[in-house]
């Protein structure tokens, strides 16, 4: 595909794919972890509700920040929150407050990056290539959602916090990709 020959598009694939791997893992493992720690479906539901509300607010905040400062600074901030949440989930994998709080934080940061993706494309890809680029990024999102869930499910068998550490540390590449892109 000619689109993938462009370095900016490949950077976008990394910017979109890395947090989606993490997000795909979070949406599977956090509810399972909460259920395992509490045996309470109400607590799992409270987590789901809280994460949706906070993530929606985070998207609004990311959009407002991007309107004010451009997408680069909010992108770095969201990646910092993702990395931080991954490390905290690794350290607190057996603690309900840690899993709940840092799961919500990770989901919110991932949703923020989803909002910023539209600005990334607008900032660096010619307008005539927007539809094809968004199609490609949606395919990346789909594959990384599945990959993150599968990788997280495999890694959690070795240690409860291991998926959060591995995928959280993999995100440390993303700020460099953003710097190259901008």
Q: What is the pLDDT of residue 139?
A: 97
Distances (CA, A) of 9 to 30, 57, 66, 169: 31, 28, 20, 23
pTM: 0.94
Q: Which residue from 26, 21, 165 is spatially nearest to 100, judged by alpha carbons? A: 26
Confidence grade of residue 20 (pLDDT, cut at 50, 70, 90):
very high
Q: Which pLDDT tens digit goes with each residue over 53-97? A: 999 999 999 999 999 999 999 999 999 999 999 999 999 999 999
Per-residue pLDDT averaged across 38-60, rounded?
A: 98
Alpha helices in the chain (DSSP H): 7-38, 41-69, 72-91, 96-124, 130-155, 162-170, 174-181
Radius of gyration of the chain (CA): 16
Q: How far apart are CA 130 and CA 150, in angstroms?
A: 30
Which residues, other chains included, contact 15 with Cβ-Cβ below 8 Å and sequence gap of 6+? Answer: 75, 113, 117, 120, 174, 177, 178, 181
Q: Which residue from 46, 175, 153 is spatially nearest to 109, judged by alpha carbons? A: 175
Q: What is the pLDDT of residue 90?
A: 98
Q: Which residue from 36, 32, 172 is spatially nearest to 103, judged by alpha carbons? A: 32
Q: What is the pLDDT of residue 73?
A: 97
Q: Which pLDDT tens digit goes with each residue over 94-150? A: 999 999 999 999 999 999 999 999 999 999 999 999 999 999 999 999 999 999 999
Q: What is the pLDDT of residue 2?
A: 83
């Amino acid at each position: 595909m000619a689109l993938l020959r462009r370095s900016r598009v490949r950077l976008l694939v990394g910017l979109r794919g890395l947090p989606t791997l993490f997000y795909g893992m979070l949406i599977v493992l956090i509810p399972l972890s909460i259920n395992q720690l509490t045996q309470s479906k109400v607590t799992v539901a409270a987590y789901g509700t809280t994460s949706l509300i906070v993530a929606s607010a985070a998207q609004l905040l990311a959009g407002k920040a991007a309107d004010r400062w451009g997408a680069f600074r909010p992108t770095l901030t969201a990646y910092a929150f993702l990395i931080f949440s991954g490390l905290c989930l690794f350290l607190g994998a057996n603690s309900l407050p840690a899993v709940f709080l840092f799961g919500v934080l990770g989901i919110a940061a991932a949703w923020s990056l989803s909002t910023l993706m539209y600005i990334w494309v607008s900032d660096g890809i010619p307008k005539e290539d927007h539809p094809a680029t968004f199609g490609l990024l949606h395919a990346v999102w789909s594959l990384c959602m599945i990959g993150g869930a599968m990788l997280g499910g495999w890694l959690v068998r070795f240690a409860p916090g291991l998926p959060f550490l591995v995928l959280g540390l993999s995100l440390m590449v993303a700020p460099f990709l953003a710097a190259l892109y901008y």
